[in-house]
């Protein structure tokens, strides 16, 4: 028995103690018991927190390794411009893989299979709306496709994200069911009308694609991707269709020192507005995030900590079913996955399109 409990019983049984003293002591004991109970709950909560932080410890990894191993021949690594940028999921035995489109920012594109073999690949089809790219391996190789299963995981269930060699890259918990995420792609400028009606840059956001490209206050945007833009409204409407990660070619008029106008061509990358506005401290807390972390028809959310180059691979439930494709690292403990129901629909039309073009 706890000492505080023993003292309370002793007082309760003592007939010589007057009622006033009894009440005061009882109140003190009650406060003491409250502190003990609170401390106990804090210890329990701390133990739970520690257990959650160690969710991917060696024992847990060993437990789920058979599930992850079951798909090891069907997960590849994507290299673009000479560096790893994403994972890819094998979806057809004749050389097709599905990956995250916005990470494919440079040539050549290559695929590294589970056994380390490296093959050239090309983009065979894209679906910008959900940031998907279908890759075709440019080699005579037979692959083992995964079977996507239209299954909705329950909230708080465990999810497994396998890597290229079968080793799990993360274990997470299902947090939010499938929902639409509106895209927040921005060039990073505030526009106004110039005296002659053209799109005048009034302000450039630091850390934006416009800032990186060299756009400055006072510039006139007269064309996007080679198409003439007559005024501010047309520029805004064109940029509204651009997703985070998209590259755009800007044609700019800039006043020079002799009061003339120079025509400049600039390549700018559309960035997610969340990233543009992010403070340095927020960036440290959130860690590396995907260039495109918004703009999806449907995603479910889980708390697996993925690196951006670990998106594009499959998500498994604890029965080993492939229930989705990881598509974005959106926050410190926020990852998005496209559900299999959506992926199956997109994939069917993408394969038809790609095979029809061969």
Look at residues 304, 345, 350, 358 and name the one whose alpha carbon lies nearest to residue 327. 304
**Residue ranges of E strands in the chain:** 75-80, 83-92, 96-100, 109-112, 118-127, 132-137, 158-162, 168-181, 185-186, 189-193, 199-204, 220-224, 227-228, 247-255, 261-269, 271-272, 296-302, 314-316, 322-331, 334-339
Tell me, what DSSP letter sits at residue 258?
A: T
Residue 10 has pLDDT above 90, yes or no: no
Tell me, what DSSP letter sits at residue 253?
A: E
Determine the pLDDT at residue 8. 35
Partners of residue 111 on adjacent β-strands: 78, 119
Determine the pLDDT at residue 53. 54
Determine the pLDDT at residue 41. 36
Average pLDDT, integer, range 9-33:
44
Confidence of residue 263 (pLDDT cuts 50, 70, 90): very high
Residue 18 has pLDDT above 80, yes or no: no
% of the chain residues with pLDDT over 70: 84
Query: In which region does residue 12 sit, left (phi positive, over 0), alpha (psi from -120 to 50) or beta (all else)?
Result: alpha
Interval 170-190: pLDDT, tens: 999 999 999 999 999 999 999
In this prediction the pTM is: 0.80
Residue 123 has pLDDT above 50, yes or no: yes
Place of tokens 């700018």: 268
Residue 6 has pLDDT above 80, yes or no: no
Residue 166 has pLDDT above 70, yes or no: yes
Average pLDDT, integer, range 149-154:
95
Determine the pLDDT at residue 57. 78
Residue 33 has pLDDT above 60, yes or no: no
Least-confidence region, from 1-15, 85-99, 102-116: 1-15
Residue 21 has pLDDT above 50, yes or no: no
Residue 108 has pLDDT above 50, yes or no: yes
Query: In which region does residue 225 sit, left (phi positive, over 0), alpha (psi from -120 to 50) or beta (all else)?
Result: left
Least-confidence region, from 65-74, 115-124, 338-347: 65-74
Compute CA 180 distance to the chain's CA centroid, rounded to the nearest angstrom.
14
**Average pLDDT score over the chain:** 86
Least-confidence region, from 55-59, 77-81, 145-149, 342-346: 55-59
Average pLDDT, integer, range 76-84:
95
């Amino acid at each position: 028995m706890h000492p505080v409990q023993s003292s309370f019983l002793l007082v309760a049984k003592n007939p010589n103690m007057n009622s006033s003293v009894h009440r005061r002591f009882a109140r003190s004991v009650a406060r003491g018991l409250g502190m003990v109970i609170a401390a106990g709950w804090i210890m329990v909560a701390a133990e739970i927190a520690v257990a959650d932080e160690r969710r991917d410890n060696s024992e847990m990894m060993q437990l789920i390794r058979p599930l992850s191993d079951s798909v090891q021949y069907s997960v590849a690594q994507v290299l673009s411009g000479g560096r790893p940028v994403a994972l890819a999921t094998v979806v057809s035995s004749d050389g097709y893989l599905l990956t995250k489109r916005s990470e494919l920012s440079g040539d050549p594109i290559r695929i590294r299979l589970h056994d380390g073999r490296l093959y050239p690949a090309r983009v065979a089809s894209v679906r910008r709306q959900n940031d998907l790219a279908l890759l075709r391996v440019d080699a005579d190789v037979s692959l083992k496709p995964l079977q996507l299963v239209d299954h909705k995981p329950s909230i708080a269930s465990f999810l497994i994200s396998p890597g290229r060699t079968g080793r799990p890259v993360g274990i997470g918990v299902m947090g939010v069911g499938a929902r639409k995420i509106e895209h927040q792609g921005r060039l990073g400028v505030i526009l106004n009308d110039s005296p002659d009606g053209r799109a005048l840059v009034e302000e450039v956001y630091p850390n934006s694609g416009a800032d990186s490209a060299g756009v400055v206050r006072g510039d006139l945007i007269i064309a996007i991707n080679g198409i003439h833009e007559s005024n501010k409204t047309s520029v805004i409407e064109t940029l509204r269709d651009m997703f985070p990660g998209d590259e755009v070619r800007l044609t700019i008029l800039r006043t020079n020192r002799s009061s003339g106008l120079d025509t400049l061509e600039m390549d700018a990358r559309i960035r997610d507005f969340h990233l543009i506005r992010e403070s340095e401290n927020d960036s440290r807390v959130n860690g590396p995030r995907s260039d495109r972390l918004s703009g999806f028809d449907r995603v479910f959310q889980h708390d697996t900590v993925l690196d951006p180059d670990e998106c594009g691979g499959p998500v498994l439930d604890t029965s080993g079913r492939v229930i989705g494709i990881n598509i974005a690292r959106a926050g410190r403990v926020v990852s998005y996955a496209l559900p299999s129901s959506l992926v199956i629909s997109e994939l069917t039309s993408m394969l038809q399109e790609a095979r029809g073009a061969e």
